[in-house]
Amino acid sequence: MKVIRCHDYETCSAQAAELIADRVRRKPDALVGFATGDTFKSVYARMIQDQKDGKIDYRGIRTVNLDEYVGLPPTHDQSYRYFMDTQLFNELGLDPSRIEFASGMADSEVELPRLHKFFAQNRVDLQLLGVGVNGHMGFNEPDTCLHASFYKAKLTDSTITANSRLFNSRDEVPRFALTMGMGEIMMAHELLFMAFGESKADAVRQLLADDKVTVDCPCTFLKMHPNVTVFVDDAACKAL
């Protein structure tokens, strides 16, 4: 595991955007797995700017995303599809046919087998990962067991509370999401993990301070992946 600790969020984001650009220069049709959340906003803004500046052309990539809330349509401003469309995809001018995304509105009994088939036929080249305050990735929440493949996850109280900052009230936060499973995350050729701020310090401590892998903190599974780069700022390292 390669750990890049930067003083602040913007320095980390610049280096992470450079890593993504490097991988796409080497493989212009790479399948890139994206993540939502505040963590990646600056990275995405930099990717858009790099393309505008002619440093890289992202229009050849294919994409897949980690997760989507159940019950939110892509037009809802808190759906993850809306986030990706507005923060990245539209600005890059990606062809919709190159974008794979879980539907929060489809019947999950139909949607999940469709997504399983996608992962049986495709392997992600570079998967971006943020982390929840309790160590979740995508919506793989701490539990007695984790899931290998895309599944319908029940959000924990801690995640509902953390994500309620983006909704009008806590009641509006969806209780379920479709999320890539841990096995699909671990199958990616390369992982780029980012964590910023003191609220992520405990998850970062569990990831970096020792050799333990535990279902109580799903991001610790990254210790078993052969090709991971971790970007953390000073605040996220506070418990180390």
Task: Give the contacts of 101 (CB within 8 A, at least 6 positions apart).
Answer: 64, 65, 68, 74, 80, 81, 84
Query: Of 8-16, 25-33, 85-93, 130-138, which segment contacts ligand GLP by CB under 6 A?
Result: 130-138
Least distance from ligand GLP to the Cβ atom of residue 64, Å: 13
145-164: contacts with ligand GLP (CB under 6 A): 159, 163
Contacting ligand GLP (CB under 6 A), which of 67, 68, 184, 233? 67
Helix (H) / strand (E) element for 209: namely: none
Query: Any idea which residues carry the catalytic annotation?
Result: 67, 134, 136, 141
Closest CA to 37 of 13, 63, 62, 61: 13
Least distance from ligand GLP to the Cβ atom of residue 137, Å: 6
DSSP designation for 47? H
Least distance from ligand GLP to the Cβ atom of residue 169, Å: 17
Should residue 32 be labelled a site residue for ligand GLP when binding is judged by CB under 6 A? no
Distance, in Å, from the CA atom of 190 to the CA atom of 33, rounded to the nearest integer, reads 10
Should residue 188 be labelled a site residue for ligand GLP when binding is judged by CB under 6 A? no
C-beta of residue 229 within 8 angstroms of C-beta of residue 193: yes
Interacting residue ranges for ligand GLP, rule: CB under 6 A: 35-39, 66-67, 130-132, 138-139, 159, 163
